[in-house]
Structure 1
Amino acid sequence: MSSTLHRTRTPIAWLFSALLFVGCLGLAVSCVSHSSVPSPNVVALQDTTPENVHVGVFADAEAAGQLYPSARLCQPCHQKQYQEWAVSPHAYAQVSPVFQSFHAAVIYLTNGTNGDFCIRCHSPVGMALEEPFSTENANRAEAAFEGITCIVCHRVDQEYGKISGRMKVHTGDLFAPVYGPGGDDNLQKALASNDFNLKSKPEGSGNPTHANAKRFFQLTQPGFCGSCHDVLGNNAFRLEEAFSEYKASPSAKNDETCQDCHMATVQGIVSDYENGPAAVVAGNPTPDRRLTNHLMAGPDHSVAHPGIYPHNVDASEFATIREWIAFDVDAGWGTTDFERTNPSRDQFPERWRSREDRIEARRLIDQNLERLDYYMGERRSVLQEGYRLGQLRVGEMSSGGFEFEVDLENGTDGHGVPTGFIAERVVFLRTVVTDANGKQVFFSGDYDPNGDVRDSHSLYVHAGELPMDEFLLSLQSKFITTNVRGGEREQVLAVNYSVDPLPFTRPPTSSRFLVGRPGGSRIHKLNIMPGDKRTAKYEVTAEQLAGTEGPYHVSVEVVAGMVPVNLIAEISVVGFDYDLSAREIADRVLDGHVVLWAYDVELQPGAVYSMPTRTGDDYVSKYTFEEQHPERSHSTSEHDSHASAGH
């Protein structure tokens, strides 16, 4: 089996890819960029002030840091918040090679007219600095690479409403004011105290800090989250509706906020907040106050090299992004066993020829892997709160076959599940029926050789090599686009196919108020709203039971993933950052598939089961990818194990 993703293409599709690679060499260069972006040879700002920041500071890291300080500078005093944020989805927003290529592919397919629409949320600092829309992350300013970094929330002082991330982040060095929920009483006391040895201006000695922490009350309100978490295109396309779903939810009616679920002590449920010092300066804590958790786990997880993510101050100072991706973690570099073999210096890149450097790199990577493992545990927990496996009901059973059904429920009051980027969220039921001898007689929710479920987007189903899974219950919503002569079709990316080679996104010429979407595309929502459920109905036929004997067992698993593999195939036309291949990313995406809830019961006629198992790290799935597809050698033995992708 080829190591590349399987896909069947027409000659015009091959031409499409060829034209792309001629015109846009992956992410190494910008496919579309602002005309005002200076040459990388520009190394100094030209009379830049906060008022004329848009002069192009892309190539001047020091100047960019003076305008938009890195989270690294916040870390010495706010270590708790930094450690939580550094492994969070917010911190991963721009790191993600999947996002980068998705964004670049949509720009290409819309002939540049999508502009900064996607990256404006994922890297507000990068767009404020007028960085290219698409480039290697190694080329970006430090705070731009950090995605939703500290200043993206704490240098905003206005209520913008649902504006799809197009907010002003105030400029200024570390000493400039920040904005928080409580004002700066504690800060001013600390500045006046000799215990903290603080300084609020560049001159003099002491621990640097911002001069003011101004109160911005909306930071504690859902409306602040809604500035990014409702995504509306300039053509009225409703890409994400997490905030709108919340506003119509029982949680909103009960005055429960986004922060109450996602920034309190327990991920995914309304819980109490921690109390403690907001800062610890030179070992001295500030007075206790309410603290929020900046981890905010969700369905995304890292597929990047563990040397560059999670964000790690020591790791970023020890090696560059390009140096880290040349460090072979899987080969064991820096481990005791590997270094005992006395490997030849010549087998390593120049940066890693030093044994001492390899050992130190391994120490830093092990730190990051431990943090990734913690995040993956919190990710499982928050997903388990969002989904519930309801009743399993069995009909009459005979040698002529039988039927059974199972409910999948929304476990939260706050929004639909999944929410946000619902057209690319993978949540489905995997159901396997076996006989008394363990022989499989029925299955649904299995993978094709690429790692996709057998739905209408599976490349193997498209090619006619596998049948569609007619019993599949999937919560992945679908992009629907209008064809040239009427009618609609599903698409992986919401860009219409056209006989015209130049599809554009553009503002509508008439009001979209009544229909709420552009004329050429929409999302068919398949997620589950609060208080609702979806029921999967299964039928085992006499033909499937032939040659088997009872009693029969059923395994029903709720499986959640980050994105479908077919999305990786679709966006691979622009390449991937960090020298990753589509197959490598797809395998790491599959490593993040996790079983949330499961039934494993003997089927009895007329029985009703209502006590599913909440799975943990020790759960072993009844289904393995390798057993079904032995032709594909995969990096892990259990896709549904608690694993940290990206290493």
Structure 2
Amino acid sequence: MKKNGLHRDLIVAVSALPLAICLLVSAAEADTAVGAQSLQRIAEHLAAADDDLLLQPSAGDQTPPAQTDDLLLQPTPTQSDDLLLPSAPAQSDDLLVQPSAKDDLLLTPTPDVVSPSVAPAIGAPIPTETPPDAAGTTSAGSTSGAAAEHEKLFAENRFPAATTCATCHPKQYEEWSASQHAYAQLSPVFLTMQAAINAKTSGTNGDFCVRCHSPVGMNLEESVYVSNFDRHPTSREGVTCITCHRIDRNYGKISGRLAIVEGDLYEPVFGPKGDEELNRVLDEPETYRVSTDRSAPGRAIHTEVERFFPLVTPGFCGTCHDVTLVNGFRLEEAFAEYHQSPASQAGVTCQDCHMGKEQGVASGYEEGPAAIVGGEPTRTRKLASHFFAGPDHSILHPGLFPLNVKAQSFKTMREWMTFDDAAGWGTDAFEKAAPRDYPFPEAWRSIDDRYDGRKIVEAQKKRLAKADERRLEVLRNGLALDEIRITSAAPGDLSFSATVRNITDGHSVPTGFDAERLMFLDVTVTNADGAVVYRSGDRDPNGDLRDTHSAYVHAGELPLDEDLFNLQSKFLVRLLRGGEREQVLPINTSQGVLPFVRPEALPTTIYGRPRTARKHKQTIDPLGQRTAEYAVPAEALTGSGPYAISVKLKAQMVPVNLILAIQDIGFDYGMSPRQVADAVVDGTLTIAERETVVTLGGQNRAEVQ
């Protein structure tokens, strides 16, 4: 059979989890959260370094000793173990989580990664670094009482929140607040993954990931490890309004190192049109009742809108959507792909496809007022959508996302996490049946609060459903599945093919973080009795595909799906001995005790790629196509049929094996790996589906009904 996945001869060895002898977390620590002390030491080490992305190399790095790994810094007596996570017990398998009797490889001995006795409130597992002190500080980025309010006010004066902008820009806020830009920092998968990468690189990855996901947080110098519960509200907004509209220069492809122009609401903002309409509004104070004077009555408004044309160019998007590590590793190439695409040559921009009327295709722009000031609309103009649909989706409690001004003012994040949506709190059915002594948490003891909370949650669910519609829209504008083609239907021989096409001319599909994007074919063949005789693209009990990273495949409990068609790219890392190995995370591990992320000693152009790790792309080029071929084993065929063939093209935001690879760090919001994995799988969308029925007989002849 033809293999539809990565060529096997490219891989010397594969692993579900990186072989990190010095970076393993003991089972006991995984149960109780995750190496807080280790991350504390990483943070302290980073704070002492001159470069937040890079520890300074020693003089000996210029000429590595013989018979050593020249890709890794050698340990020194003072650096031998101060940044390391505890090693695993001797009896454990460092490559594999063993299947349990319940067939659940992600379950920990307790329902959550963090035990309730260890974690505050709901048990946010991401550790904070600053202990309580007399000044009222409770954690890094978190204070109590009047000090907390003063800190928030000070930060708002530097970096206005999107909720402030929503007063006059409700349409833009409504779109953005359910977008992947708004979700960027809130994602528990992202937050754990960037902490795991730092743990596995001895902290030298620094804020490389989070500075794109939370530019405000990094400008506020928040810890990269702190829980979202304890971040400033504007920091939690991820790629918020001022991330784009308070940038005054074209930074180029710098992977998100942005200096946001500071200032309160009155300070200038930057946009594509300039301030002609703003000046008209300021000239009509009786109509709009605005004031640019902080001491005068009236609605606060920007004093100026400076024209910043790069905001509407693809290069501005490339600031974050082309990601190259300091060692030359190209993690994401969305902008580079676009730059070489037919769309680019035709003058179609990123904004034309992703900020227009329809997600993922150049469809023109809406028309309408850019602002509603005191109920009065400004003049009609071109309006860009701020929804930015993509393959990701929220796995959070609906009280937390989409971002909602009413929800935020009603309860805190921790309080929302205790609202039991599944139990039906705030519905007539639940409230009538609930006993008087039902153990409600303090925040929800009032039945009125529960009913009000239910109204907010139901409104949030409607917004999430609309977000799923836009997500499916952008995926269907990127990929198409042709009709099933029968290649053989002789007696005892059934084979067929399915072609997947990239129907966009702007970039490859998938693009961006393509090494963690699943776009695969789920194939089922059933006989006349309805019994399944062939499967490909099905899942193991964890929710993983049966690929080389499935823990069940590694355990020998399920066979490898050799016919799997999946457009997910693969990370290949160079090892100390031997060749390359495919891994879930692109971190080359060896017997050196301190793997670092650092610049290459030689230009990567000499090799055509960095020597430490690379990516084997499986994506489809713009307007390209790829065909998957399948053959049902002869022994599975039971007579002439008829045989029903179903082929579904599906998209999933990340693989479950990524959750497995990073779970030792723990997940924010007190979520367990099982909860995260289930939510990820539940968000899988079917982009397209084809079906046909075949009766075997004759010379390669199929009767298709």
Shorter-chain TM-score category?
Answer: 0.7 to 0.9
Distance (Å, rounded) in 2 between the aligned partners of 1:493 and 1:141: 29
Distance (Å, rounded) in 1 between the aligned partners of 2:393 and 2:37: 23
Q: Secondary structure at the match of 1:300?
A: coil
Q: Secondary structure at the match of 2:287?
A: coil
1:564 aligns with 2:575: no
Match of 1:24 in 2: 35
Give 1:399 deviation, angstroms: 2.7
Match of 1:470 in 2: 562
Contact 2:652 2:681 in 1 (8 A): yes
1:471-514 CA distances to partner (integer Å, 9 max, x unpaired)? 11000101100111130010001111211221110111111124
Q: Secondary structure at the match of 1:60?
A: helix
Of stretches 386-395 and 188-197 in structure 1, the one that deviates more from structure 2 is 386-395
Contact 1:345 1:353 in 2 (8 A): no
1:13-162 aligned within 5 A: 15=25, 24-25=35-36, 32=43, 35=47, 60-162=151-253
1:507 aligns with 2:599: yes
Q: Secondary structure at the match of 1:160?
A: coil
Distance (Å, rounded) in 1 between the aligned partners of 2:367 and 2:37: 47
Contact 1:229 1:420 in 2 (8 A): yes
Distance (Å, rounded) in 2 between the aligned partners of 1:204 and 1:426: 55
Contact 1:434 1:440 in 2 (8 A): yes
Of stretches 335-344 and 190-199 in structure 1, the one that deviates more from structure 2 is 335-344
1:219-257 CA distances to partner (integer Å, 9 max, x unpaired)? 111000000000000111100000000001010011000
1:429 aligns with 2:521: yes
Change (3 A) 1:431 1:305: same
Of stretches 226-235 and 22-31 in structure 1, the one that deviates more from structure 2 is 22-31
Contact 2:478 2:503 in 1 (8 A): yes
1:417 aligns with 2:539: no
Change (3 A) 1:162 1:462: same
Match of 2:316 in 1: 224
Match of 2:336 in 1: 244
Q: Secondary structure at the match of 2:605?
A: coil
Amino acid aligned to 2:471: R
Q: Report the identity percentage.
A: 47
Q: 1:322 aligns with which of 411, 414, 417?
A: 414
1:503-542 aligned within 5 A: 503-542=595-634
Match of 1:336 in 2: 428
Q: Secondary structure at the match of 1:358?
A: helix
1:295 aligns with 2:387: yes
Contact 2:160 2:265 in 1 (8 A): yes
1:366-445 aligned within 5 A: 366-445=458-537
Amino acid aligned to 1:256: V
1:358 aligns with 2:450: yes
Structure 1: where are the runs of 5+ without partners?
A: 1-6, 46-55, 612-647
Q: Secondary structure at the match of 1:205?
A: coil
1:188-215 CA distances to partner (integer Å, 9 max, x unpaired)? 1111112110112321211111111111
Give 1:305 deviation, angstroms: 1.0
Change (3 A) 1:287 1:29: farther
Match of 1:497 in 2: 589
TM-score, normalised via structure 2 length: 0.80
Give 1:125 deviation, angstroms: 0.5
Distance (Å, rounded) in 1 between the aligned partners of 2:33 and 2:521: 42
Distance (Å, rounded) in 2 between the aligned partners of 1:105 and 1:123: 17
Give 1:336 deviation, angstroms: 1.7
Contact 2:502 2:624 in 1 (8 A): yes
Change (3 A) 1:352 1:263: same
Match of 1:583 in 2: 674
Change (3 A) 1:337 1:22: closer
Distance (Å, rounded) in 2 between the aligned partners of 1:315 and 1:413: 40
Match of 1:176 in 2: 267
Contact 1:435 1:549 in 2 (8 A): no
Give 1:15 deviation, angstroms: 4.9
Give 1:30 deviation, angstroms: 8.9
Amino acid aligned to 2:47: S
Q: Which has the higher contact order (CA 8 A, sep 6+)?
A: 2
RMSD: 2.6
Q: Secondary structure at the match of 2:692?
A: strand
Number of equivalenced pairs: 593
Distance (Å, rounded) in 1 between the aligned partners of 2:420 and 2:331: 38
Distance (Å, rounded) in 1 between the aligned partners of 2:136 and 2:279: 35
Distance (Å, rounded) in 1 between the aligned partners of 2:153 and 2:259: 21
Of stretches 258-267 and 389-398 in structure 1, the one that deviates more from structure 2 is 389-398
Contact 2:17 2:661 in 1 (8 A): no
Give 1:444 deviation, angstroms: 0.5
Change (3 A) 1:523 1:17: farther
Structure 2: where are the runs of 5+ without partners?
A: 1-15, 49-128, 138-146
Amino acid aligned to 1:580: M
Contact 2:490 2:701 in 1 (8 A): no
Contact 1:30 1:133 in 2 (8 A): no
Amino acid aligned to 1:544: A
1:256-278 CA distances to partner (integer Å, 9 max, x unpaired)? 00001000001111111001000
Distance (Å, rounded) in 2 between the aligned partners of 1:85 and 1:276: 17
Match of 1:461 in 2: 553
Distance (Å, rounded) in 2 between the aligned partners of 1:162 and 1:302: 28
